[in-house]
């Protein structure tokens, strides 16, 4: 009988969890919609309206008719802008997590495997960064560099890697003492080969869980920055700056706040539930056969 890898075992347990399956479906829908909008935008197609087309004669229309979710103060279709915001917000989340994961995995792996003074230096650097509130650190750096989508992605990624580094370090401290790692050392294999070929695949499950849980954090950070005017700049729509545009009209045009807020809530909830279900599956030590 073929032995399951940790990742295969985690995924099998994950899909036995009803919460995991439902949340995975929600996340799949969000990603599919965002990817479809991105492809259509690349070819110059807009569904159902151009998200940046203004029409002052149709401003602040309530939901209904041809404008399913109403219009904003410039007559732009809210539904179209939420769709545009979906792929921008998710792009920020995924790319920022990739940057964060790349740094955190390398730092944590080197620290946990080598130990000694290398471990002390790297972990003290991690502790120093974690002393600062992450959102305010992101806000400060973005304000200094200037608000645009590239700076937002890079800064979120560069600030958010410390938790991943500590997790990977803990995994490597345990796995470096296993028999297969000792056997690899006896065979004369180099440190980098042992780290990336033997240890890292066995630490993949908790790292993947961390990545999934990091995506909604990045989405919420981007939404907060855009709401404060330091994120993605107009006319590009993100869920955060749609809410910013609508806060002035909150008493007269509730749909400008509610619908993008629901988009943020459902997306973040879906990713958090997927990540939590994956964490439970990865931590399960025994199961009924």
Residue 256 has pLDDT above 80, yes or no: yes
Q: Which residue has the higher pLDDT, 9 or 270?
A: 270
**Confidence at 285, pLDDT banded by 50, 70, 90:** very low
Report the mean per-residue pLDDT for the chain.
87
Domain parsing of the chain, residue ranges: 6-41+69-283
Beta strands in 66-192 (DSSP E): none
Q: What is the mean pLDDT of residues 194-222?
A: 87
Residues 119-166: pLDDT tens digits? 999 999 999 888 888 888 888 888 888 888 888 888 899 888 999 999
**Cα-based angle 192, 193, 196 (whole degrees, multiple of 5):** 80
**What CA–CA distance (Å, rounded) separates 107 from 126?**
9
Residue 11 has pLDDT above 50, yes or no: yes
Task: Output the CA torsion 255→257→259→263 (10° steps).
Answer: 170
**What CA–CA distance (Å, rounded) separates 122 from 250?**
47
Cβ proximity of 268 and 32 under 8 Å: no
One of 3.40.640.10, 3.40.50.720, 1.20.1260.10, 1.10.3720.10 is the CATH number of 6-41+69-283, namely: 1.10.3720.10
Q: Which two tokens stand for residue 210?
A: 């961390």
Residue 6 has pLDDT above 50, yes or no: yes
Q: What is the mean pLDDT of residues 194-214?
A: 86
Residues 72-122: pLDDT tens digits? 989 999 999 999 899 888 998 999 999 999 999 999 999 999 888 999 999
How high is the pLDDT of residue 286?
A: 41
What three-state secondary structure class fits 232? coil
How high is the pLDDT of residue 288?
A: 41
How high is the pLDDT of residue 2?
A: 61
How high is the pLDDT of residue 142?
A: 85
Residue 182 has pLDDT above 50, yes or no: yes
């Amino acid at each position: 009988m073929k032995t399951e890898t940790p990742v295969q075992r985690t995924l099998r347990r994950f899909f036995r969890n009803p919460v995991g399956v439902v949340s995975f479906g929600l996340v799949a829908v969000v990603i599919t919609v965002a990817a479809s909008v991105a492809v259509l935008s690349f070819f110059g197609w807009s569904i159902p309206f151009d998200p940046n087309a203004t029409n002052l004669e149709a401003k602040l229309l309530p939901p209904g008719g041809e404008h399913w979710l109403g219009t904003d103060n410039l007559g732009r279709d809210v539904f179209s802008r939420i769709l545009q915001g979906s792929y921008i917000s998710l792009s920020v989340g995924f790319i920022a997590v990739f940057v964060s994961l790349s740094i955190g995995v390398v730092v944590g792996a080197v620290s946990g495997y080598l130990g000694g003074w290398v471990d002390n230096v790297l972990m003290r650097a991690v502790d120093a960064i974690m002393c600062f509130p992450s959102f305010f650190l992101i806000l400060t750096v973005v304000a200094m560099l200037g608000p645009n989508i590239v700076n937002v992605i890079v800064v979120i990624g560069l600030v958010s890697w410390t938790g991943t580094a500590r997790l990977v370090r803990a995994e490597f401290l345990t796995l470096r003492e296993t028999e297969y790692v000792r056997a690899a050392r006896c065979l004369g294999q180099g440190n980098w080969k042992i780290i990336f070929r033997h240890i890292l695949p066995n630490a993949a499950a908790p790292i993947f869980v961390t990545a999934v849980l990091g995506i909604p954090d990045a989405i919420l950070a981007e939404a907060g920055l855009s709401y404060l005017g330091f994120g993605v700049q107009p006319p590009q729509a993100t869920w955060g700056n749609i809410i910013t545009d609508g806060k002035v009209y909150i008493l007269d045009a509730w749909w400008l706040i509610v619908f993008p807020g629901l988009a943020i809530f459902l997306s973040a909830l879906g990713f958090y539930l997927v990540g939590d279900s994956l964490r439970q599956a990865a931590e399960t030590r025994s199961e009924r056969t």
